[in-house]
Amino acid sequence: MDDCIFCRIARGEIPSAKVYEDEHVLAFKDINPLAPVHVVVIPKQHVASLNELDALPADTQLALLRACREVARLTGIADSGYRIASNCGADASQSVQHLHIHVLGGGKLSVSMA
């Protein structure tokens, strides 16, 4: 998508602090971190949200989850603990309409999931 901010990051048109990349996905630091470690994992192919997961090839679907695990390892939070979350739609206040998974950690996280 031409004007999608995460597509533009995936194409390198907007700079980002890359944490992990493979042929399917890109992970970069969130510009407005909500935890000491806050990384966003995206598929390079545009889909709007988790609702459209089936539009992605199966290997990309798997790569998303594996990339979250890899981000946790690379940022040193695999053992201390972390949370992954994907906001989908209006009630979740999804602000970027390109599927992404937040990886949060590096300190005690709020117990609330809502």
Q: Could you list the residues that contact ligand 5GP (CB under 6 A)?
A: 5, 14, 16, 28-32, 40, 87, 93-96
Query: From the CB of 64, what's the least distance to ligand 5GP, in Å?
Result: 14
CA-to-CA dists, residue 62 to 24, 54, 57, angstroms: 9, 11, 9
Q: For residues 95 and 112, which CB has a smaller minimum distance to ligand 5GP in the complex?
A: 95
Binders of Zn ion among residues 65 to 104 (CB under 5 A) are: 98
Sign of the four-CA dihedral 8, 41, 93, 16: negative
24 is catalytic: no
d(CA 42, CA 27): 6
Catalytic residues: 100
